[in-house]
Amino acid sequence: MSLMDRIVIMGTNNKSFSVIYNGEVVNRSILQIQDDLRLLKKGKAQRVRIRDKDLLIYYKGGIVTLKSYRELGHNCPATRDYISYVKKYIKLSTKAKHVGALVVASSIALGVASFKSNKVQAENNDMKVTSTKVLDDMHDLSGSYTMNNNPNFNIHDYENIMIPEDDVEVLDTTPTLDVPTEDSVEQQEAVTSTYTDKAELNLEYESRAYTDRNLLVRNNKDTMAAIKKYANKYMIDENLVMAIASQERGTHSQTMDDGGGLGIMQVQVAVHPDGSAFSTVINDNGNIKKSQFVYHYNEYITLDGNIEAGCALLQYYLNYFNGNMAMAVYAYNSGQGPVNNAIVAYASETGLSYESIMANKSDLDWTKYLDREYYLPAVLSWLDTDNLTMSYAHDDIVETTNYSLNHTKSLAK
């Protein structure tokens, strides 16, 4: 077989990828992968198959395999964009519908030249990653695996991936792009896989748990019932919602405060007028699906509606920042603009990519560029726990992050 016959793309972490050319490993940075995938958008595939966690793309000259394609899409926005771009060329197979998978198509011809010219010594990986990620694919019950900064790939694990030539089918139609199929609608709503992450936050704050303002929240049965209800609906740790409510106001009021905020969660009336909406994700009795939250003043003026509005907004920011809790909490206070600016400034200082900073949920160094750096430790100071669990969803994956909180002052009991 020629070099064109088989290419395998795998992720090692958010900034480094391995590409196997017929058994030979070449390391690629995230920027190089972005260039490669840009070239791969040029053509059409003949067929796409899903095998376990892998996506196999057939073309006349051979085959491209995306190893653990869901995780590749999670770790590399370029891969996620590429999958989204080329899926329009694919006729969904029965198996693709069964696993609820995004399917992609591409021609490898233009991409091989780029791959071939970069068979060089592996680049140094300067990404700072402190968390360990474990993928648990609900459609593959054979087990899970751990990713870290120094994976040891076993090349022969990927050698027996070819499909018999008679299994390749040429598409005879081009799908209509502006009319979603029933399958695509189901895919947009279905969230069927889980991904568990760990992060550790090191902060300096002194606990204010069970002090007067905190007790106003904790001791109000209606408030705590609504917090529990909507924290569960929007997949947010109820302790964090309680802490934000304590920080923002402590009690509910139907009178707008001087800063423009309304209610216990301080919903900004001017920013969220009637009818304004955003996309979010909800837990509907165990079914995780995409949804849309619409602001209505007559709802968020109430205690129940105010807490839901706050939880929905926090979930929106979690999705916006790929599950990074610190970024979501800061955005809840100041909006996403200042947080984006801080990330960009930190990226400029360190040479790290925006995506890698966002992915490293344990890194808080970027917060020095915020005007309100104090906000996150102020919120967390209302907690009586050192652990938080947060979830968000993208594509058809639910990612849950278990946060360990380390701070220099002991918790008050």
CA 57, distance to chain mean position in Å, is 24
Q: Tokens 């984006």 — which residue?
A: 340
CA distance 321 to 339: 10
Q: Would the CA dihedral through 381, 384, 388, 390 be positive or negative? A: negative
Hey, which bits of 256-386 come out as E strands?
A: 261-262, 267-268, 277-284, 287-294
The residues that bridge with 20 in the sheet, in sequence order, are 8, 25
Q: pTM of the entire structure?
A: 0.56
Q: What is the mean pLDDT of each run of 10 residues along the chain (413 residues)?
A: 54 59 64 71 63 66 70 70 60 38 36 40 30 26 27 29 33 33 36 75 92 95 97 96 96 90 92 88 86 92 96 94 95 92 93 90 95 93 94 80 82 43
Backbone φ and ψ for 241, nearest 5 degrees, come out as: -60, -45
**135-170 burial by CB neighbour count: b if 16+ within 10 A, else e?**
bebeeeeeeeeebeeeeeeeeeebeeeeeeeeeeee
List, in order of start, the domains of the chain with CATH numbers.
6-189 (no CATH), 193-407 (1.10.530.10)
Helix 303-320 to helix 221-233 angle, to the nearest 10 degrees? 30
CB 20 within 8 Å of CB 77: no
Q: Tokens 């619409």 — which residue?
A: 294
CA distance 159 to 90: 25
Helix 303-320 to helix 325-334 angle, to the nearest 10 degrees? 130
As a residue count, the chain comes to 413
Find the helix or strand (DSSP H, E) in which 50 lies. strand 47-51
